[in-house]
């Protein structure tokens, strides 16, 4: 039995995959702790692991980050990305490192396995000199040959004009990443670490092992992926049948549906329904479909009357829903996209900010769905994209190809195998 500390940023899309890995390690007899925010302590303990709540690091509400980080108020797009990285991920890293160091001094571990966005993991590992690897619930798509600059939602260039485009945009985006790299080096000094040679692309990840959700098949073609990055498919713990109590009262409508079921989701952090949920409801109101909306962490009811063909719940268990889903309309959250593809479900993706434009671009490039190229689409655009995806079986076939690859990678079981191998 080994003692393993996992870390996860306190967001549903990060905690759930890390919790799945923790549960698998617990089943194998290891002593597992998970360092994350207090709101997720109960979910960690339900998986059989021990929760280590944030102490010096501030607890936050992922539905209202501006309450803890005021500079995020009313910001979207690139500005949100920049402030997220500066205030949330880099800004909380020193406190995370202090929490982890205190936890290690109280009870040492054999392996630290961290969420890359919990950057305090890296700082704590270096200060302690302990064994450290990355378990990434977010997309790991490092820059490389023939890959367009990350963050712009671009597909691979074609011809001399496309390569020139990438060169110009790469130079422009490099200015921003250099600023963040300097911020990273300043943060290192703040926790008593010497400067290192890491860049914005590499500073989040262990140089020894990166256990990554997803698959190279979802990335653009490349032959330069570092060998220590190991993709393991969909890191979720939804393999068990959904409990009846977790199903909404209207679930029989899904079971009896004689029309296609369309799932609409904005994930768990983006709770403004005007971005995607309301446009999608308007787009599908006159379609012969049953629309199942998941509002995530949103607690207020959706404004206005619902169309007769719509059903709404905060959460709908994906093991029950996705096998019955014809098309998913999503804001491009990585975990939700992976789960849809694992169930061979094609997508309409409205990826607005953070990593979502990159996810949307890859889904579209691989033919597994339509990239709307905005996070706030108009109803007409959603309707047209839905009809394209629903009417052309090539989209479901492409989703099924990606789904077969994701299923073959083993998920949490393969992740646990890799972590155990790193212990020896």
pTM of the model: 0.92
Res. 242: pLDDT tops 60: no
Between residues 263 and 300, which one has the greater pLDDT? Answer: 263
Residues facing residue 53 across a β-bridge: 36
Closest CA to 180 of 200, 156, 159: 200
| Confidence label for 61 from pLDDT (cuts 50, 70 and 90) | confident
Between residues 389 and 155, which one has the greater pLDDT? Answer: 389
Q: Residues 151-175: what's their mean pLDDT?
A: 72
pLDDT tens column, 102-131: 999 999 999 999 999 999 999 999 999 999
Q: Residues 271-276: what's their mean pLDDT?
A: 88
Q: Chain-wide mean pLDDT for the chain?
A: 90
Q: What is the pLDDT of residue 144?
A: 80
* Range in 194-203, 241-250, 273-282, 295-304 the model is least confident about: 241-250
> In a 3-state reduction of DSSP, which class is residue 399?
helix
| Confidence label for 173 from pLDDT (cuts 50, 70 and 90) | low
Between residues 423 and 363, which one has the greater pLDDT? Answer: 363
pLDDT tens column, 180-194: 899 999 999 999 999
Residue 236 to residues 19, 337, 348, 407, Cα–Cα distance (Å) = 8, 12, 22, 11
Res. 241: pLDDT tops 70: no
Q: What is the pLDDT of residue 17?
A: 96
Residue 72 to residues 76, 299, 367, Cα–Cα distance (Å) = 8, 21, 34
pLDDT tens column, 24-51: 999 999 999 999 999 999 999 999 999 9
CB 369 within 8 A of CB 363: yes
Q: What is the pLDDT of residue 239?
A: 46
pLDDT tens column, 338-351: 999 999 999 999 99
Q: What is the pLDDT of residue 68?
A: 74
Q: What is the pLDDT of residue 150?
A: 76
Residue whose structure tokens are 């492409």: 398
Alpha carbons 43 and 46: distance in angstroms, whole number: 5
> In a 3-state reduction of DSSP, which class is residue 373?
coil
* Range in 75-84, 154-163, 318-327, 343-352 the model is least confident about: 75-84
Alpha carbons 27 and 183: distance in angstroms, whole number: 40
């Amino acid at each position: 039995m080994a003692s393993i500390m996992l870390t996860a940023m306190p967001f549903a899309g990060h905690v759930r995959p890390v919790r799945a890995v923790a549960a698998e390690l617990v089943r194998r007899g290891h002593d597992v702790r998970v360092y994350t925010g207090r709101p997720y302590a109960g979910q960690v303990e339900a998986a059989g692991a021990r929760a280590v709540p944030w102490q010096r690091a501030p607890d936050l509400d992922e539905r209202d980050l501006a309450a803890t980080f005021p500079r995020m108020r009313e910001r979207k797009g690139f500005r949100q990305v920049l402030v997220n990285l500066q205030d949330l991920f880099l800004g909380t890293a020193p406190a995370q490192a202090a929490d982890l160091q205190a936890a290690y001094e109280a009870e040492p571990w054999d392996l630290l396995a961290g969420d890359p966005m919990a950057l305090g993991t890296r700082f704590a590992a270096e200060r302690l000199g302990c064994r450290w690897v990355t378990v990434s619930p977010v997309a790991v798509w490092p820059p490389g040959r023939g890959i367009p600059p990350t963050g712009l939602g671009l597909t691979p260039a074609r011809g001399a004009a496309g390569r020139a485009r990438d060169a110009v945009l790469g130079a422009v985006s490099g200015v921003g990443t250099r600023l963040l790299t300097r911020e990273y080096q300043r943060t290192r000094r703040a926790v008593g670490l010497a400067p290192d040679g890491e860049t914005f692309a590499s500073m989040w990840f262990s140089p020894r092992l990166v256990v990554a959700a997803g698959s190279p098949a979802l990335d653009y073609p490349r032959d330069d992926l570092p060998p220590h990055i190991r993709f393991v498919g969909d890191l979720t713990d939804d393999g068990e049948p959904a409990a009846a109590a977790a199903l909404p009262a209207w679930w029989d409508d899904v079971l009896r549906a004689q029309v296609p079921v369309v799932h609409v989701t904005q994930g768990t952090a983006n709770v403004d329904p005007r971005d995607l949920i309301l446009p999608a409801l308007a787009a599908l109101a006159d379609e012969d479909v049953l629309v199942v909306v998941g509002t995530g962490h949103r607690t207020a009811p959706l404004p206005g009357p619902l169309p007769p063909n719509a059903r709404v719940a905060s959460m709908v268990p994906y093991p029950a829903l996705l096998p019955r889903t014809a098309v998913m309309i999503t804001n491009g959250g990585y975990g939700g996209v992976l789960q849809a593809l694992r169930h061979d479900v094609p997508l309409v993706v409205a990826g607005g900010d953070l990593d979502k434009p990159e996810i949307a671009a890859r889904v579209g490039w691989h033919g597994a769905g339509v990239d709307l190229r905005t996070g706030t689409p108009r109803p007409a655009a959603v309707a047209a994209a839905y009809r394209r995806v629903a009417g052309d079986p090539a989209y479901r076939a492409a989703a099924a190809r990606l789904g077969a690859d994701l299923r073959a990678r083993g998920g949490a079981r393969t992740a646990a195998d890799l972590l155990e191998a790193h212990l020896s």
